[in-house]
Amino acid sequence: MTPQDAIALAQEKNAEVVDLKFMDFIGTWQHFSIPLSEYEEEIFEDGLGFDGSSIRGWQSIDSSDMLVIPDAATAVLDPFCQTPTLSLICNIVDPITKEDYSRDPRNIARKAEAYLKSSGVGDVAYFGPEPEFFILDDVRFDQNAHEGYYHVNSVEGSWNSGQEEGPNLGYKPRHKEGYFPVSPLDSYQDIRTEMIRIMEDIGIRIEKHHHEVATAGQAEIDMRFLPLVQMADALQWYKYIVKNVAKRHGKTATFMPKPIFGDNGSGMHTHQSVWKDDQPLFAGDGYGGISELGMHYIAGILAHASALCAFVAPTANSYRRLVPGFEAPVNLAYSSRNRSAAVRIPMYSPSPKAKRIEVRFPDPSSNPYLAFSAMLMAGLDGVERRLNPGDPLDKDIYSLTPEELAGVPSVPGSLPAALDALESDYEFLLKGDVFTKDVVETWVDYKRENEVDPLRLRPHPYEFSLYYDV
């Protein structure tokens, strides 16, 4: 779609407002809106100004002026605005140099796609994330000098089986038994269907939706794979739609990896493959039907997995999910069917076009532009250096002896450990100027200052149970 097409679309849809969305450094969509009278072709080249110092991890107050440049190809009608509103996703540009801003996550993703092409390895990287989330009925939390607590609730929560609900009908998925039950046990069929219909209305192709393993309304909606930048765009729309449909029904949705104790957390298993000249490069006659190039890509993911965690499992809460011994994909190995391995080779279809790998340790708290780009760069580093992933892990991880288990490395056990790993292993991200040293350092500094240190300074509620009477 050209700028002229995007202008015409606003008229065709009778839009009265144009909304300009862009991604902040950490991973939250930001926006501002303009009336249709200001929606002219010039903004697709000249952009519109805003204060970059007010965006997390971006400019200082003395150099705050930035520009948004709308991407005409992303124009769609916003499905939730009462007034007809055309929405566009934007790139960020320096107003003085007119260069793409190095800390703009979407710019990093665009550079990752360009680097893939320049490397000669392939010309497109497809990504297919499987974001999981919870649909809840109530959430309350607070933290003060003298108290700290959280409370989440869901009419589906197994803990509500004894509540007087006038009447309580008893259909509550038990812990770890929420995978695929029909209604009335699955009470969110219609809400998820509403979500996918809106996703399809804006052009996102959906493969399926279902209740997930946990109690309390855990859900998953799977999108058809797309090229890297397009999929990151689609994932932002996905989150936006899920949250707003939930709110429409008087509920709240969260992509927090581990909001409920004692049950499964929400991951984002990420399928990926590289193609060239419309041919899949991961299909071959090796283990799991994977090519030699695909094996090198897997090796790159595993070699850099600890550093990748800083982007693909980027919150302290991520490591409430990634705990050894609890069926989490923490083991830095690959397998064709073992779901406790960090990388799995799906075996659903014999078609070469369906051959891909699934990286299982990411979660949906990620900034997708950064997460997908980092994984691609790690995989390409494995291809370029012809790394070997070693032998597959096809055994039941829980039946391994301590001696066998000692030979299987695992992902970092905390956000500080992941940030330390990134600090010592980021050169692979700098190739092609995809990430810059400034981006890596800013990411690490921001996470430590705004997430790691504030958590370290506050007592945890459970510590009172453990230590009050010492």
Q: Which residue spans within 239-388 are E strands per DSSP?
A: 252-254, 268-276, 279-280, 331-335, 341-344, 357-359
DSSP string covering 305-329? HHHHHHHHS-STTHHHHS-TTTT-S
Q: Which residue spans within 11-101 are E strands per DSSP?
A: 17-23, 29-35, 48-51, 65-70, 76-77, 85-93
**Residue 210 known to be catalytic:** no
**Residue 339 known to be catalytic:** yes
**Residue 269 known to be catalytic:** yes
Q: Are 243 and 292 in contact (CB under 8 A)?
A: no
Element (H, E) at 440: helix 437-447
Q: Which of 45, 51, 391, 441 is catalytic?
A: 51
Q: Which of 113, 137, 220, 263 is catalytic?
A: 220
Residues with Cβ within 8 Å of residue 468, at least 6 apart in sequence: none
Q: Over 99-151, what HEC string results?
A: CECCCCHHHHHHHHHHHHHHHCCCCEEEEEEEEEEEEECEEEEEECCCCEEEE
- Taking CA 64 as the corner, what is the angle to CA 62 and CA 68, rounded to the nearest 5 degrees? 165
| Burial class, 439, CB count within 10 angstroms (exposed 0-12 / middle 13-18 / buried 19+) | buried
Q: Which of 360, 363, 381, 451 is catalytic?
A: 360
Q: Which of 106, 269, 271, 321 is catalytic?
A: 269
- Give how far the C-alpha of residue 121 lies from the chain's centroid of Cα atoms, to the nearest Å: 25
Of the candidates 25, 269, 227, the one whose C-alpha atom is nearest the C-alpha of residue 131 is 269
Three-state DSSP state, 272: strand
| Share in percent of the chain as helix, strand, coil (round to 5) | 40, 20, 40
**Cα gap 304→77, rounded to integer Å:** 40
- Give how far the C-alpha of residue 419 lies from the chain's centroid of Cα atoms, to the nearest Å: 18
Q: Which of 71, 156, 212, 233 is catalytic?
A: 212
**Residue 423 known to be catalytic:** no
**Residue 132 known to be catalytic:** yes
Q: Which of 263, 358, 363, 451 is catalytic?
A: 358
Query: Which pair of structure tokens corresponds to residue 230?
Result: 């397009």
Query: Which pair of structure tokens corresponds to residue 226?
Result: 């797309």
Q: Are 302 and 342 in contact (CB under 8 A)?
A: yes
Residues with Cβ within 8 Å of residue 164, at least 6 apart in sequence: none
**Residue 130 known to be catalytic:** yes
Place of tokens 């050894």: 324
**Residue 103 known to be catalytic:** no
**Residue 205 known to be catalytic:** no
Q: Which of 71, 104, 130, 186 is catalytic?
A: 130
Q: Which of 132, 156, 381, 451 is catalytic?
A: 132
**Residue 320 known to be catalytic:** no
Active-site amino acid positions? 51, 130, 132, 212, 220, 269, 339, 358, 360
